[in-house]
Amino acid sequence: MARQYTLHRSTPTVTSGIDYRAALNEEQYAAVSSPPGRALVIAGAGSGKTRTLTYRVAWLLDHGIDAREVLLLTFTNKASREMTERVRELVPHDTSALWAGTFHSIGSRILRRHADDLGFTRSFSILDRDDQKSILNAVIGSLDIDTKQRRFPKADVLASIFSLIENTGASLEEVIASRYDQFYDWIAKIEEVRQGYIKKKQATNSMDFDDLLVLTVRLFEENPDVLDLYQQRFKNVLVDEYQDTNAVQGRMIDLLAGKHNSLMAVGDDAQSIYSWRGADMSLILGFPVRYPGAKVYIIEINYRSVPEILNLSNAAISANTGRFEKDLRSSREAIGTRPALVALPDPSTQAAFVAQRMLELRDEGVPLEEMAVLYRAHFQSLDIQMELTVRGIPFSITSGLRFFEQAHIKDVAAFMRFVVNRRDEVSFLRMVSLLPGLGPVAAAKLWSEWLKSGWAEKEELPPKWSDLFLNFKVPKKSAKHWEQLCFTLDELTPDGEFARPSAMIFSILEGVYKDYLDASFDNAESRRADIEQLSQYGGNFDDILEFLAQLSLMSSTDGQPTGDQSEADEGKVTLSSIHQAKGLEWKVVFLIWLVDGQFPNGRILEADDDELLEEERRLFYVALTRAKDELYLTYPMMNPKSYTGDVICRPSQFLEDFPAELVEEWNVGNEDAWSDDEPF
């Protein structure tokens, strides 16, 4: 029997010197200084959630906890960076051993160390949505599926279905019945595709984003020794935005916390708005039951909004029954102006009011970037976009492709991903398909030749790619370009070693991709600048595996709530869906289209589901609490664009959830008030 020996780590001789009582309010201090154990912190909107988590980490380090024993789980890379940077600024301790990151990045980090236990190699590729679609299309093509009579779901839809299954623990039948009932007759074939997709991922040594969570949980459940390793290390687990966790993330937290580790989960049940992604609000509401004896701390002092806005927000959310009781209190003085409730004749007049009021506020000294228009669905912004364009008011829309999702960035990444993971069929096909004359059939033949060579299964790199690939048969039209591709691959792995990421990107751009850019895009210069920027980003990495992992994680919105948006451009009004606005704030907020059928959403009203309606109300609450100084609630009384002709709009039922005296009704006036004789 092995001798037991306990290592007693020394208490740090240097502390931060932080006066925690002075730096925090009483509610924050109670949470930050709480003893080891299980704790749930309900941090209301604008109450300093990030500050609380950051100071909790500092408190732990100041009280003898080794940084390596702390795990901080977040939902966005931005939140992780902000918190770790703040901790470094607060404490003199070495925090390099602290693990902080998104659930997906932490899962990826763990799986890189233990992939062999699951039948993968440590150089596995991480699939983004386009990669998933490619594999799914290949699987569909290999199955006997007759789509002539009825439509079979596209790969993108299948990926969403499979993601819901993984993240919620629901069966295929349950997901189809609840969200995709039009495909109910296809269940057997869809299951065939799902099983084929799972096998294909294993065969190509690839994982999708859901696998980074699901396989981490499986690793822990099937390998108690591995789980024990991480439970022994992470004695203190902290979780941000706990209300957004899904079943898999909840299980991952439970496993890491085990029976004895400290766990602090921070979140706000009133801002749980992602059930459509699989978020399970019962995890935060049921925390005290799942962890008997857990302490619940409630932080109610709001540093963002004036009292008039908070009074309205508190009253609005009180209509929900499934929630923790709290009453946000403002740290600011009242300004004497209540939120405005503005009924307009129609959508175009609503847009005109918003635009005119923006110009007035700008003249009063409110910068345009401190104003936002929020809406339930993106299409509701069309009239606003048109009106702002006509009036010359600059605006930005928080939508569109992220930098790492762009096609040319993913093209360049395919070269690097293939040389790292020689079984990555998706990346190989994407890479060779860039060459002229190499269509899907020719590309597939090249892949077959590559597999026959035997190098796909070898751990070591080929001595020279060109010695091997130049013997492959390619169409005459492709021969010259194929030769250049071979020499480019040689540059990526000189002397049988991986070049640095920045050097790889330079070789790809100058070797084969520059000509493709010039021939394929009318904005080639702009795209080239993007790739050069990618090369600069790659300069921060020495390890190609780490670089590719970060590239894949940052290219996806999956598992990351869309509140992780860059701030609006200076001098521009922000137009945003409420989901994308979560976590952001502005001095002035216009919340538009507050009519039944638009907000709350019509499908939810038809479903007559109390839980879904309460989530819609939480979404309404999130919108209200984005405003710091002024809030305008607007709705059209008539919608002339309905297919059935002019339709009278019923004001949103959410407007009935609070006393009328909490808002100030505005009477915009009659048609004459909007004449061209009086400029706005």
End-to-end CA distance of the chain: 86
State the catalytic residue, choosing from 15, 50, 385, 653.
Answer: 50
Any alpha helices (H) in 67-185, and if so which ranges?
Answer: 77-90, 103-114, 129-142, 155-168, 172-179
Name every residue whose Cβ is closer than 8 Å to that of residue 619 and which is 6 or more positions away in sequence: 273, 376, 578, 579, 599
CA distance 323 to 274: 16
CB 402 within 8 A of CB 556: no
Known catalytic membership, residue 66 = no
State the catalytic residue, choosing from 211, 241, 244, 629.
Answer: 241
From 478, 469, 485, 473, select the one nearest 437 (Cα to Cα).
478
Name the β-bridge partners of 302. 330
- 611: which 2 tokens? 């839980």
Work out the number of other CB atoms within 10 angstroms of the CB of residue 49.
23
CA distance 574 to 395: 6
State the catalytic residue, choosing from 323, 326, 626, 628.
Answer: 626
Which phi and psi angles does 383 have, rounded to 5°? -65, -40
Taking the CA atoms of 143, 431, 466 and 496 in sequence, report the sign of the dihedral they define. negative
Known catalytic membership, residue 6 = no
Known catalytic membership, residue 49 = yes
State the catalytic residue, choosing from 49, 189, 304, 618.
Answer: 49
Known catalytic membership, residue 634 = no
Question: E strand or H helix at 467, and its extent?
Answer: helix 465-469
| Length reported for the chain | 680
Known catalytic membership, residue 50 = yes
CA distance 403 to 409: 8
CA distance 627 to 577: 14
State the catalytic residue, choosing from 271, 380, 625, 634.
Answer: 271
Q: Find tokens 């899904």 and name the residue.
A: 246
CA distance 367 to 573: 9
- 528: which 2 tokens? 């080239």
SS3 for 477? helix
Name every residue whose Cβ is closer than 8 Å to that of residue 597 and which is 6 or more positions away in sequence: 605, 649, 650
DSSP category for residue 651: B
Report the relative pairing of strands 395-397 and 573-577 from DSSP bridges.
parallel
Q: Does residue 600 have a cis bond before it (omega within 30 degrees)?
A: yes
State the catalytic residue, choosing from 62, 240, 490, 614.
Answer: 240
Q: Where are the beta strands (DSSP E) in 228-351?
A: 236-239, 262-267, 295-299, 301-302, 329-330, 340-344
Work out the number of other CB atoms within 10 angstroms of the CB of residue 66.
18
Work out the number of other CB atoms within 10 angstroms of the CB of residue 601.
18
Q: 560 burial class (0-12, 13-18, 19+ CB within 10 angstroms)?
A: buried
- 37: which 2 tokens? 């154990």
Work out the number of other CB atoms within 10 angstroms of the CB of residue 285.
16
CB 663 within 8 A of CB 411: no
Report the relative pairing of strands 38-43 and 295-299 from DSSP bridges.
parallel
Known catalytic membership, residue 240 = yes
Report the relative pairing of strands 647-648 and 638-639 from DSSP bridges.
antiparallel
Catalytic residues: 49-50, 240-241, 271, 626
